[in-house]
Amino acid sequence: MLPGAWLFWASLLLLPRPIQPCPRGCDCFTQEVFCSDEELAAIPPDIPPHATDIVFVETAFTTVGTRAFSGNPNLTKVVFLNTQLHHFGPDAFGGLPRLEDLEITGSAFSNLSADIFCNLTSLGKFTLNFNTLEALPEGLFHHMGALESLQLQGNRFQTLPGRLFQPLMRLKTLDLAQNRLAQLPKGLLRSLTSLQTLKLSNNMLSGLPEGVFGNLGRLQELFLDGNGIRELSPEVFSGLFCLQKLWLQHNAIHHLPPSVFASLGNLTFLNLQGNELRMLPAGLFAHNPGLVGLSLSHNQLETIPEGTFANLSSLVSLTLSHNAIAHLPAGVFRDLEELVKLYLGSNNLTVLHPALFQNLSRLELLSLSRNQLSTLPGGIFDTNYNLFNLALHGNPWQCDCHLAYLFTWLLQYSDHLLHIHTYCGGPAYLKGQSVLALKEEQLVCPVTRDRLGFQTPGMYDREPGDIWDLTMEERAAQRRCTYSNPEGTVVLACDEAQCRWLNVQLSPRQGSGSLAMKYNASQEWDLRSSCGSVRVTVSIEARAAGP
């Protein structure tokens, strides 16, 4: 382009907008007209003829008569937002061969007749959101074969004519969310072979007819959340080969057939939050190896079978919070190589297997909050090299020697701010203290302070015969025998199961830092346990440090 031409264009841009006739109550831009006058009592007759877009917001007129816009043949977009419209003449939008986008949102009309929209052959996007529509005539979309997007959100449909969508072979998006649909006619979606997104969220569906999605081979995203669906038939999703996202949260599903997701080889997101699932059938996700996000929170799961997630090697986020999970098999997360976020909060976990999180080397976030955990096994996070966000609050942490691993790990790796609300549930004298405010030497295991210093089961005051009534943890504690001097600063421990080693531990007196057993002193203990009796003498001799 010549420099002269540039100058010419630049000076045009600087000119004030050419004065052109614009209807009262409207603003006219180059090709757009925007009318938002509450006084506007009719569609203005003097809309600039070359307008391509016209938008009415909160206007007062109630009627769009037959061919109301025939003076504006170039209109491509007509929008009514929150207006008083409730009457349309036959062929109301006739004479607009280029109309691509028609929207009537937020008006109060409950019925439409088919002849209003009879000639909209070029319409690509049709929006009738948040009106008070209760029904639609079967022929409404008869000549709308070009339609790609149909928005019917927020009306009052209880059902729809079975052949309503028959002409819409090119439709890609259908939004029926927030209506009152209690059932879908079996063939309703049969012609929608191009459909990519279907929204049926927040209706009143209690079930889905067999085969209702059978022809939707191109569907990528299906929203069924917020209904009352109780049951899914094994084949209901069987034609959805391209489905990537399936939203089933907030329904009443209490049972899943093992093969219900088996056709969904491209599934990446699945949300089953807020249902009534008590168990997951074996192999439920075996054919969904591309899953990236899976939520099962707010169900009633009590455990997860070992192989449930075996094929989910792409899974990044797994949400199992707000269930009743009391037990997790050691290998349940074994194959989740890509897992970054794992939510296990608000369950009923009491014990975790030491290998539970093994090989989850990408794990960054782990929530264990609001369970019944009193300790975690040593080494449990040793392969979680990227873990830094760990939620632990709401557990009865037993702040004794068994918590030492977790305590050290927290100091070293975790974000301290996260743990201000993590408190000890025991022992009694530490109850309610913040775990991170403790000193490591406070994490000691209980010993009796009896003068002779021996105790075997003592801690639990039970006869040895009771051993089978005890929990596994209690039994392990019984197998140890511990002894200490009255000050608790010299601790002897043996392992009754092996009768082999004797562990002698000298620790400074808590708080003061001085040894309770005086230097150059000697003390004797008679240790009696099922290993036999042994006399132990502990002598301490202080020597000056060498040069």
Ligand X SMILES: *[C@@H]1O[C@H](CO)[C@@H](O)[C@H](O)[C@H]1NC(C)=O
Instruction: Decide whether 228 or 377 has the Cβ nearer to ligand X.
Output: 377
Output the smallest distance, CB 289 to ligand X, in A: 6
Q: Are 319 and 296 in contact (CB under 8 A)?
A: yes
Is 35 near ligand X (CB under 6 A)?
no
Site for ligand X in 513-532 (CB under 6 A): 519-520
Angle, alpha carbons 415-309-330 (nearest 5°): 65
Is 402 near ligand X (CB under 6 A)?
no
Site for ligand X in 273-302 (CB under 6 A): 286-287, 289
In the block, tokens 């005539």 appear at 137
Burial 135-169 (b: 16+ CB within 10 A, else e): ebeebbbbbbebbbbbbbbbbebeebeeebbbbbe
Q: What is the DSSP string of 26-55?
A: EEE-SSEEEE--TT--S--TT--TT--EEE
Q: Are 312 and 340 in contact (CB under 8 A)?
A: no
Rounded alpha-carbon distances, angstroms, from residue 174 to 168, 195, 269, 375, 437? 10, 8, 20, 51, 56
By CB under 6 A, name the one of 31, 62, 76, 113 that touches ligand X: 113
Is 345 near ligand X (CB under 6 A)?
no
Output the smallest distance, CB 85 to ligand X, in A: 8
By CB under 6 A, name the one of 241, 269, 388, 413 that touches ligand X: 241
Site for ligand X in 45-64 (CB under 6 A): 49-50
Strands 269-271 and 245-247, sheet pairing: parallel
Output the smallest distance, CB 266 to ligand X, in A: 4
Is 413 near ligand X (CB under 6 A)?
no
Q: Are 288 and 318 in contact (CB under 8 A)?
A: no
Is 348 near ligand X (CB under 6 A)?
yes
By CB under 6 A, name the one of 56, 80, 88, 423 that touches ligand X: 88
Number of residue whose CB is nearest ligand X = 265
Instruction: Decide whether 163 or 353 has the Cβ nearer to ligand X.
Output: 353
Output the smallest distance, CB 467 to ligand X, in A: 21
C-alpha to C-alpha distance for 491 and 484, rounded to whole angstroms: 4
Output the smallest distance, CB 119 to ligand X, in A: 4
Q: Are 224 and 250 in contact (CB under 8 A)?
A: no
Residue 322: HSE in the Cβ half-sphere, 13 Å Cα cutoff: 11
Output the smallest distance, CB 220 to ligand X, in A: 8
Output the smallest distance, CB 241 to ligand X, in A: 4
The one segment of 248-256, 353-361, 483-491, 524-532 that binds ligand X by CB under 6 A: 353-361
Is 245 near ligand X (CB under 6 A)?
no
By CB under 6 A, name the one of 6, 24, 70, 87 that touches ligand X: 87
Is 534 near ligand X (CB under 6 A)?
no
Instruction: Decide whether 119 or 201 has the Cβ nearer to ligand X.
Output: 119
Q: What is the DSSP string of 289-300?
A: TT--EEE--SS-
| Contacts (Cβ under 8 Å, ≥6 apart) of 437 | none
Is 358 near ligand X (CB under 6 A)?
yes
Instruction: Decide whether 58 or 302 has the Cβ nearer to ligand X.
Output: 302
Is 317 near ligand X (CB under 6 A)?
no
The one segment of 85-93, 151-159, 175-183, 413-421 that binds ligand X by CB under 6 A: 85-93
> Three-class SS of residue 142?
coil
Site string for ligand X, 318-337 (x = CB under 6 A): ------x-x----x--x---
By CB under 6 A, name the one of 217, 239, 265, 354 that touches ligand X: 265
| Residues near ligand X (CB under 6 A), total | 36
| Contacts (Cβ under 8 Å, ≥6 apart) of 83 | 56, 57, 58, 59, 60, 61, 104, 106, 107
Output the smallest distance, CB 336 to ligand X, in A: 10
By CB under 6 A, name the one of 132, 359, 433, 434 that touches ligand X: 359
Residue 474 CB-density burial (10 A; 0-12 exposed, 13-18 middle, 19+ buried): middle
Instruction: Decide whether 206 or 300 has the Cβ nearer to ligand X.
Output: 300
Is 384 near ligand X (CB under 6 A)?
no
Angle, alpha carbons 297-302-307 (nearest 5°): 85
By CB under 6 A, name the one of 41, 81, 108, 112 that touches ligand X: 112
| Contacts (Cβ under 8 Å, ≥6 apart) of 85 | 61, 62, 63, 64, 104, 107, 109
Instruction: Decide whether 6 or 508 has the Cβ nearer to ligand X.
Output: 508
Is 111 near ligand X (CB under 6 A)?
yes
Output the smallest distance, CB 442 to ligand X, in A: 28
Output the smallest distance, CB 331 to ligand X, in A: 6
In the block, tokens 């209506």 appear at 179
Is 91 near ligand X (CB under 6 A)?
yes
Rounded alpha-carbon distances, angstroms, from residue 58 to 52, 84, 494? 20, 7, 84
Is 197 near ligand X (CB under 6 A)?
no
C-alpha to C-alpha distance for 359 and 377, rounded to whole angstroms: 16
Q: What is the DSSP string of 198-247?
A: EE--SS------TTTTTT-TT--EEE--SS---B--TTTTTT-TT--EEE
C-alpha to C-alpha distance for 128 and 155, rounded to whole angstroms: 8
Instruction: Decide whether 151 or 268 has the Cβ nearer to ligand X.
Output: 268
Angle, alpha carbons 357-406-361 (nearest 5°): 30
Site residues for ligand X per CB under 6 A: 49-50, 73-74, 86-88, 91, 94, 109, 111-113, 118-119, 241-242, 265-266, 286-287, 289, 310-311, 324, 326, 331, 334, 348, 355, 358-359, 519-520, 541-542
